[in-house]
Amino acid sequence: MISSLEKKVTFRFLKTKKNEGFVNIITIFSFIGITLGVAILIIVMSVMNGFRSELINKIVGFNAHVIVKPYEKNFDKSDVKNLLLIDNFDYSVASNTSEGVIINKNYTKGISVRGYKRKSFQKLDLVNNGNFEGNKNLNSKHISIGKELSFTLDVGIGDKIILMSPFGVETIVGALPKQESYIIDSIFDSGLFEFDQNVVFMNIIDLENLFNLDIDDRNMEIYLNKPNRINETLFDIREIFKDNIIYTWADMNKSLFSALKIERNVMFIILSLIIIVAAFNIISGLTILVKNKTKDIAILKSIGVQNNSIAKIFFLVGFIIGLFATITGIILGVAFSIYIEEIRILLSQIFNIQIFPEEIYFLSKMPSEINLFSILIIGFVSICITILVSLYPAIKASNLDPVKSLKYE
């Protein structure tokens, strides 16, 4: 327990006098350092959490949650019916994919082509996300392209483009690559720059004709109600499709999310050093404070105040500085994380620079996701560091000899 005397002396020591201005400066720097360290750590963690969540949502939005590819034989109808027994199952569609070259006037670009049936295409989240423009039917000889690709090609709905296949067709002058003209029927916006720039959709029959694909080459795309619970559902899907190749959206982006996780952990460690460096200022400030308060400590001891109480007083001085700095840092970090997109836009306008460019980070705005657990961990680590650095000056103050202290004053 803390006595009323210990509380009074602690708050008196926190109010430095004019002749202790240097101690006051160190205390202020300690407070600011810990506050900024905690705030920056929360902001960085929030942005990285937001980036990861946003990336997952985008990837899940345009990729199948589970893809089943035929290995030796095509899918059995009974296997498809068994999917309905899985609780997390939403729907499944047939698809086929290939790669080709899109041509418009003098511009050519390599792209990934995905083929769906009309009704299957209409089920996709990408088509129903509110940013889709045009016809959702995916008719024959029509094509759906991304927003960024439409800017690159300088085309819109109703314009024609040419799609070229790597497979050749024999003519009197030799083998020439197959190519067909298609009308742009719709433009989608996934929110992911890389995807909108490099993927197009077309009718599955047209795709198979252009790229010499067989109906037995078709994949089954499985969509789940809760894609984050993929690991729980994957076992059931593998039991149904034992003779097929199965991979998930997590498998396709495993290296990306592993890199993000490592980067987040490394950033936490690096930025925690800011708090540690700032906290060491507390040791400096308290050590000088102990030196300046030698006479006061000696008087307190001479009137019967125990060493325990002296240690508590100086420990509380350091702890209070660290505690309030941590709380201030949390408030500042959370507030900054909430309004980070508005701050980004404001800074971009003031300094006329592009912060968080879309073509590099694949996202149209700076994401932020405040995680309560992360904030608690950061606050806990900060307070623990403060407690550790406050112990040494407190113990040193309690061990002062009152007789020697008064003798040399």
Residue 249 lies in a domain: no
pTM of the complete model: 0.68
- CA dist list (Å): 153 to 147, 149, 161, 190, 361: 10, 6, 9, 18, 22
DSSP state of 248: E
* Cβ–Cβ under 8 Å, residues 235 and 65: no
Residue 35 lies in a domain: yes
| Per-residue confidence in pLDDT tens, the chain, 409 aa | 677 777 777 777 666 655 555 556 777 777 888 888 889 888 888 888 887 777 777 777 778 888 888 776 666 666 777 888 888 888 888 899 999 999 887 788 889 999 999 888 988 888 887 788 998 888 889 999 998 899 888 899 999 999 988 876 666 655 677 888 999 999 998 877 788 889 999 999 999 988 888 888 888 888 888 877 777 788 888 888 887 888 887 777 777 777 777 877 887 887 778 778 777 777 777 777 777 767 777 777 777 778 788 888 878 888 888 888 899 999 999 999 888 888 888 887 887 777 666 655 556 677 888 888 889 988 898 888 888 888 887 887 777 766 555 555 5
> How far apart, in whole angstroms, are the C-alpha atoms of residue 100 and residue 213?
13
Residue 184 lies in a domain: yes
Burial class (CB in 10 A: 0-12, 13-18, 19+), 102: buried
**Which of 275, 246, 131 lies closest to 195, judged by CA?**
131
Both 400 and 308 in one domain: the answer is: yes
> How far apart, in whole angstroms, are the C-alpha atoms of residue 188 and residue 197?
11
Residue 385, classed as helix, strand or coil, is: helix
The boundaries of the domain holding residue 289 are: 4-56+256-407
> How far apart, in whole angstroms, are the C-alpha atoms of residue 36 and residue 388?
19
Burial string for 165-175 (b: 16+ CB within 10 Å, else e) reads beeeeeeeeee
Both 96 and 52 in one domain: the answer is: no
- Strand-pair partners of 89: 224
As given in the structure block, the two tokens for residue 38 are 């905690």
As given in the structure block, the two tokens for residue 167 are 């497979």
**Which of 151, 153, 202 lies closest to 180, judged by CA?**
202
Both 395 and 353 in one domain: the answer is: yes
Both 287 and 185 in one domain: the answer is: no
Residue 231 lies in a domain: no
Q: Amino acid identity of 116?
A: Y
